[in-house]
């Protein structure tokens, strides 16, 4: 499988480059695209390290069954982990970008589901050599309502179950509320990661629950600016369950978070490579201002596309390869679903293949993005 995956990627790059030999009547590729494709072809086997990310695997509440107390979409979850165990280069990190369970009800339900998820992970999913980094989503942090609101005690429950899946060398917030414990940062090789809880618990002066979408903005900004000044850090990635941008606009309500556009100005100014998110049950890649920082949504990890039975365009996960002297390279790997999102994953003629590939360059990318909407 490893060799096949490598050969497919290399052949795909060579085929893309070969397009430039066609006549102009058949295809037109400018110099920047030639540069992009040449880099893709020469970089496939030389990363310093690679990391994977995916989110949104929980099933809808009405589709939960007693046999799966975690409320996870197990067929898709198992397929993702099987893939990650076989691809090359082997990812060193797996960021799970939230909504791994259904939650959004009571602390008792959240505890039961997280217990079951951890047991399944430890019993049959855990991969030697891949460090799991868990990031909470709204289904782990909020209570269902109109609007949804922060669930008191959810942070304590999350930390009890998920602290083993946070880097032991992480930097944490020490001057703010304990509710910010799921926001942290760490460095691997030449790359800094700033992980943010996009639904930090908050309450008003009377002790009533606050509003969704709160992030520790000042601390996050400070950490990004710090890493940009560190000579040994070449790349910065920010990760959080909710995205700042998709479908042509910044989102400040349930689809995003209030500080989305304000945070984006910090990301662009400091040439952060990308904000990696989920929440939307689909895949998306774009540059909100046409250059610099990317918004990548990898919420196609097993949840339904529209809240009913429909799957997204493809299920899968994404991988970023990090290099010493060139920009990171993104691959979104996908496989076909069954007719319904929670059906068994088809096994015949259903290879996991790159659906989107791009060099994460800081100028205007000639490979403009994956669609105009999250698919």
CATH number at residue 159: 3.60.21.70
Q: Is the domain of 74 the same as that of 16?
A: no
Q: Is the pLDDT of residue 264 over 70?
A: yes
Of 25-39, 132-146, 154-168, 228-242, the one with minimum mean pLDDT is 25-39
The three-state (H, E, C) secondary structure of the chain, written as one string: CHHHHHHHHHHHHHHHHHHHHCCCCCCCCCHHHHHHHHHHHHHCCCCCEEEEEECCCECCHHHCCCCCCCCECHHHHHHHHHHHCCCCCCCCEEEECCCCCCCCCCHHHHHHHHHHHHHHHHHHHCCCCCEEEECCCHHHHEECCCCCEECCCHHHHHHHHHHHHCCCCCEECCCCCHHHCCCEEEEECCEEEEEECCCCCCECCCCCECCCCCCCHHHHHHHHHHHHCCCCCCEEEEEECCCCEECCEECCCCCCCCCHHHHHHHHHHCCCCEEEECCCCCEEEECCCCCCCEEEEECCCCCCCCCCCCCCCCEEEEEEEECCCCCCEEEEEEECCCCCCCCCCCCCCCCCEEEEEEECCCCCCCCCCECCCCC
CA distances from 126 to 85, 123, 129, 184, 303 (A): 9, 7, 9, 23, 21
Q: Is the domain of 78 the same as that of 22?
A: no
Contact 101, 58 (CB under 8 A): yes
Q: Quick check: is 291 in a domain?
A: yes
Strands 315-322 and 294-298: unpaired
* Other CB atoms within 10 Å distance of the CB of residue 7: 11
Using a pLDDT cut of 70, give the percent of the chain over it: 88
Of 26-35, 106-115, 125-134, the one with minimum mean pLDDT is 26-35
Mean pLDDT of 252-260: 96
Q: Is the domain of 315 the same as that of 344?
A: yes
CA distances from 138 to 32, 142, 149, 190 (A): 40, 5, 9, 31
Using a pLDDT cut of 90, give the percent of the chain over it: 81
Mean pLDDT of 6-11: 45
Among residues 30, 45, 60, the one where a domain terminates is 45
Q: Quick check: is 365 in a domain?
A: no
pLDDT, tens digit, for every residue of 37-62? 544 544 455 899 999 999 999 999 99
Q: Is the domain of 160 the same as that of 20?
A: no
Q: Is the pLDDT of residue 156 over 50?
A: yes
Mean pLDDT of 227-237: 98
State how far the Cα of 55 lies from the Cα of 366, in Å rounded to an integer. 27
Number of domains in the chain: 2
State how far the Cα of 352 lies from the Cα of 288, in Å rounded to an integer. 28
Q: Quick check: is 370 in a domain?
A: no
Q: Is the domain of 270 the same as that of 346?
A: yes
Query: Looking at residue 204, what is its pLDDT?
Result: 78
Q: Is the pLDDT of residue 18 over 60?
A: no
Q: Quick check: is 106 in a domain?
A: yes
pLDDT band at 371 (very low <50, low <70, confident <90, very high): confident
The structure tokens 């030449």 sit at 190
Contact 243, 297 (CB under 8 A): yes
Query: Looking at residue 178, what is its pLDDT?
Result: 86
pLDDT, tens digit, for every residue of 300-322? 999 999 888 999 999 999 999 99
Query: Looking at residue 17, what is its pLDDT?
Result: 38
Q: Quick check: is 364 in a domain?
A: no
pLDDT, tens digit, for every residue of 55-85? 999 999 999 999 999 999 999 999 999 999 9
Q: Is the pLDDT of residue 134 over 80?
A: yes
The whole domain housing 17 covers: 1-45
pLDDT band at 4 (very low <50, low <70, confident <90, very high): very low
Q: Quick check: is 338 in a domain?
A: yes
Query: Looking at residue 45, what is its pLDDT?
Result: 57
Q: Is the pLDDT of residue 33 over 50?
A: no
Q: Is the domain of 190 the same as that of 90?
A: yes
Q: Is the domain of 93 the same as that of 183?
A: yes
Query: Looking at residue 27, what is its pLDDT?
Result: 34
Q: Is the domain of 123 the same as that of 25?
A: no
Q: Is the pLDDT of residue 101 over 90?
A: yes
* Cα-only R_g, the chain: 20
Query: Looking at residue 316, what is its pLDDT?
Result: 98
What length does the chain have? 375
Q: How much is the mean pLDDT over the chain?
A: 90
pLDDT, tens digit, for every residue of 184-224? 999 999 999 999 999 999 987 787 889 999 999 999 999 99
Q: What global pTM score does this model have?
A: 0.89
Query: Looking at residue 46, what is its pLDDT?
Result: 86
Among residues 45, 62, 77, the one where a domain terminates is 45
Q: Is the pLDDT of residue 36 over 90?
A: no
């Amino acid at each position: 499988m490893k060799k096949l995956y490598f050969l497919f990627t290399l052949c795909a790059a060579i085929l893309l480059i070969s397009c430039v030999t066609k006549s102009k009547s058949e295809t037109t590729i400018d110099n920047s695209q030639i540069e992009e494709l040449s880099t893709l072809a020469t970089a496939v086997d030389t990363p310093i390290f690679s990391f994977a990310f995916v989110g949104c695997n929980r099933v809808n509440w009405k589709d939960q069954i007693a046999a799966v107390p975690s409320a996870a979409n197990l067929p898709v979850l198992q397929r993702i982990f099987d893939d990650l165990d076989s691809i090359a280069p082997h990812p060193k990190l797996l960021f799970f970008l939230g909504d791994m369970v259904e939650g959004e009800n009571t602390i008792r339900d959240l505890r039961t589901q997280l217990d079951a998820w951890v047991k399944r992970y430890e019993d049959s999913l855990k991969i030697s050599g891949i460090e799991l980094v868990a990031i909470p989503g709204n289904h782990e942090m909020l209570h269902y309502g109109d609007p949804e609101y922060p669930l008191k005690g959810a942070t304590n429950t999350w930390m009890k179950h998920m602290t083993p899946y946070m880097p032991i060398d992480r930097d944490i917030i020490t001057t703010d509320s304990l509710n910010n414990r799921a926001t942290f940062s760490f460095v691997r090789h030449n790359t800094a990661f700033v992980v943010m809880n996009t639904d930090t618990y908050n309450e008003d002066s009377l002790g009533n629950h606050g509003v969704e979408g709160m992030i520790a903005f000042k601390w996050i900004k400070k950490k990004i600016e710090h890493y940009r000044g560190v000579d040994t850090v070449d790349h910065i990635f920010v990760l959080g369950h909710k995205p700042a941008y998709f479908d042509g606009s910044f989102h400040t309500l349930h689809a995003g978070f209030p500080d989305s556009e304000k945070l984006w100005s910090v990301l662009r100014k400091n040439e952060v490579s990308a904000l990696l998110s989920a929440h939307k049950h689909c895949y998306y890649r774009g540059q909100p201002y046409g250059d610099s920082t990317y918004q990548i949504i990898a919420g196609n990890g097993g949840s339904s596309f529209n809240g009913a039975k429909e799957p997204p365009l493809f299920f899968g996960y994404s991988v970023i390869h990090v290099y010493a002297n060139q920009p990171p390279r993104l691959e979104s790997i996908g496989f076909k679903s069954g007719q319904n999102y929670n059906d068994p994953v088809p096994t015949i003629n259903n290879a996991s293949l790159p659906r989107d590939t791009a060099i994460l360059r800081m100028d205007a990318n000639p490979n403009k993005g994956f669609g105009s909407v999250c698919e």
